[in-house]
Amino acid sequence: MVRYTFYFFLMFASVAFTGCSESTSGEKSATDRFETPVENQPRNTDGMVWIESGVYTMGSEGEYAENHEGPEVTVEVSGFYIDTTEVTNAQYRKFVEETGYITLAEKDVDWDQLSKELPAGTPKPADSLLAAGSLVFTPPSGPVPFDDIRRWWRWQQGANWRHPFGPDSDLEGKDDHPVVHIAYEDALAYCQWAGKRLPTEAEWEFAARGKSGDSQFQWGEELTPNGKYLANFFQGEFPYELRAEDGFEYSAPVGSFPPNSYGLYDMIGNVWEWTSDFYRPDIKKQYVAMNVQVCRDPRGPSSSYDPNDPYATEKRVIKGGSYLCSEQYCSNYRPTSRMAISFDSGQNHLGFRCVMDK
């Protein structure tokens, strides 16, 4: 196990391409050992909806879009089932009770593994700093520059899915909140137990857009139509003033806001959600370069690359934004938004939902 993000927070407190079909790369990712078949698991589509196959325009070059959201690409997605809500604390607890699974955030940092992802000669931190933990949002007392996220994030020992804000916090009254501090492998392990899988970025975005398919936000072109909040995101001066005008400072119980036209809740806001795609900022340019009219069931590149974080060995795409998305800082509460996260990163605004093939 590694914790690339751990070192960043404590010590500083040519890639193959798969095209529009399955990966043919022979390389192994750090999480390949978790990607085992689920064919023998019982099929249960309770709490899921069926999304019919369809064609849509993936990505955006619009007003709010960041460079890695475009260019726009015509994509065809095969039909699939998807969870109507993010996986909750109660659901994840049942999985842990039945399997004895231990999440990455509950394990001490393995320096031998971590050092492989850092520049040669990087000094080892004190053993006392290698205790299990995760990233916790911590509002500063007043305005801060936006040039360093460590001003509002901290590495918190003892933070994990059972203790989302640290060892003195718990899940009392939060069974219906989305489970957080979930690393990529933790999400995969749950999917395999449930007989499901993580969505591709194309599947996730197709489902999030709803039946209309082309609006700026999940519900239309206005963020708060008629002054109404339709998702859980940040209101106030970011990152220090949490006004909670939508009713929630942090995560909300799943289903607290209206569903989209497919009946899916919290595809926008609440917590970020893992997808199975490796991250590259130029992936859609790669799709366009293939010169095909329709890109069918894209699964992303066969390995990751983030020019802003070149030492990270494996990053995945997360989607949907969270309760920390702000008009001032990051307007990622849109279906086309995407973000790169290291596979070993747990945070208290990062969860997931599952999909299943027919």
Rounded to the nearest 5 percent, the helix, strand and coil shares of the chain are 20, 15, 65
pLDDT (0 to 100) of residue 329:
86
- By mean pLDDT, which of 109-113, 247-251, 268-272 is the weakest? 109-113
State the residue for tokens 């939060």: 174
The Cα 208–Cα 38 span in angstroms is 25
Select from 211, 198, 242, 269 the least CA-distant residue to 38. 198
> 334 with 221: CB under 8 angstroms?
no
Q: How far is CA 206 from the centre of its chain?
A: 16
pLDDT tens column, 86-103: 999 999 999 999 999 999
> 337 with 61: CB under 8 angstroms?
no
Residue 12 has pLDDT above 50, yes or no: no
The Cα 274–Cα 265 span in angstroms is 16
Beta strands in the chain (DSSP E): 48-51, 54-58, 73-77, 80-83, 133-137, 153-157, 272-278, 295-296, 315-319, 339-342, 350-351, 355-356
Q: How would residue 30 be classed by pLDDT, with cut points 50, 70 and 90?
A: low
Exposed / middle / buried, residue 288 (Cβ in 10 Å: 0-12, 13-18, 19+): middle
Q: Average pLDDT of the chain?
A: 88
Strands 153-157 and 133-137, bridge-based pairing: antiparallel
**pLDDT (mean) for 191-218:** 90
Residue 135 has pLDDT above 80, yes or no: yes
**pLDDT (mean) for 269-281:** 97
pLDDT (0 to 100) of residue 223:
84
Got the DSSP string for 145-160? Answer: -SS-GGGTEEEEET-B
> 68 with 330: CB under 8 angstroms?
no
Mean pLDDT is highest, among 18-32, 149-163, 325-339, for 149-163
Q: How would residue 265 be classed by pLDDT, with cut points 50, 70 and 90?
A: very high
> 336 with 60: CB under 8 angstroms?
yes
In a 13 Å sphere around the CA of 99, the CA atoms on its Cβ side amount to 16
Q: What percentage of the chain exceeds 70 in pLDDT?
A: 88
The Cα 199–Cα 202 span in angstroms is 8
Q: How would residue 26 be classed by pLDDT, with cut points 50, 70 and 90?
A: very low
Residue 3 has pLDDT above 70, yes or no: no
Greatest Cα pair distance in the chain: 57
The Cα 172–Cα 97 span in angstroms is 17
Pick 238 or 64 by higher pLDDT.
Answer: 238
**pLDDT (mean) for 73-88:** 97
Residue 18 has pLDDT above 50, yes or no: no
pLDDT (0 to 100) of residue 2:
40
CATH code of 1-40+48-121+129-358, in short, is: 3.90.1580.10
pLDDT tens column, 294-337: 999 999 999 999 998 888 889 999 999 999 999 888 888 899 99
> 195 with 42: CB under 8 angstroms?
yes
Mean pLDDT is highest, among 27-41, 200-214, 227-241, for 227-241
Q: How would residue 40 be classed by pLDDT, with cut points 50, 70 and 90?
A: low
pLDDT (0 to 100) of residue 16:
39
